[in-house]
Amino acid sequence: MNRILSLALLLCPALLCSALDRAPSKPASHSGVVAETMNSGGYTYVRLKEGKSSVWVAVPPMKVKVGQRLTLEAGMEMRDFFSKTLKRTFPVLFLSNGPMSEAAGSANPHQQVAEAHSSKAMPPETDIKIEKAAGGVTVEELYRRNKELDGKQVLVRGKVVRISPKIMGRNWIHLQDGTGDQGKGTHDLTLTMPAIPVIGEVVTIKGAARKDKDFGSGYRYSIIVEDAAIVK
């Protein structure tokens, strides 16, 4: 899988039900003045004015100001893309790594994306308060008890807030239950699992807790649940 396609799948789970089969365009970059910007669903949307035309680009969370000049990396072109969080359709939207590196090859794009989607970077869902599964643990407990639970099967109930399919051969699921602290990154749990649940669904999962897991390419977790399955 090429780098742009991997990024596109990581940035937006809606690719599962959108125009994934459309052929991507390959512009060298997107450069212009920021005419409009917004943050939604954990991503930053930027409308760049390029001469008389403009283009929408979605990037990992970053600080952007109207009037700022940006050059963003080329990305996958998505047509008639509907954003559920913004409740709007973009006739054309590009999914990009983010700003072009000042020195070619100086940055590791996989690590940049991984850091942008780490537990600390993941915004907490509002008004979540999910009761702990019988015999299970909360998201915060998994972080607090990571040494004790390392290598053990655990039960966790929470809301699916993000899905990143087929990255490094795995489906990555983010789960939140209203516990934990965003500042410490203990509010968001990452799972790997063969199945792909529905975003917004409350599920109970069972899997193996792993402490200090390092997958390489910037994917490092103080606690993660691997090979998880949904428990009915």
Q: What would be the CATH architecture of the domain defined by 118-230?
A: Beta Barrel (2.40)
pTM for the model stands at 0.55
Instruction: Pick the closest to residue 74 from 150, 151, 7, 172 (CA basis).
Output: 7
The answer to whether 3-110 and 118-230 have equal CATH topology is yes
- When pLDDT is cut at 50, 70 and 90, the band that residue 175 belongs to is very high
pLDDT of residue 23: 42
User: Could you read off the pLDDT of 11-44 as tens digits, one per residue?
Assistant: 444 443 444 344 444 566 888 899 999 988 767 8
Q: Residues 6 or more apart from 36 whose CB is under 8 A from it?
A: 46, 47, 66
Question: What ranges do the domains of the chain cover?
Answer: 3-110, 118-230
Please indicate whether residue 79 or residue 144 has the higher confidence score (pLDDT): 144
Angstrom distance (rounded) from CA 146 to CA 157 = 17
CATH 2.40.50 assigned to domain 3-110? The reply is yes
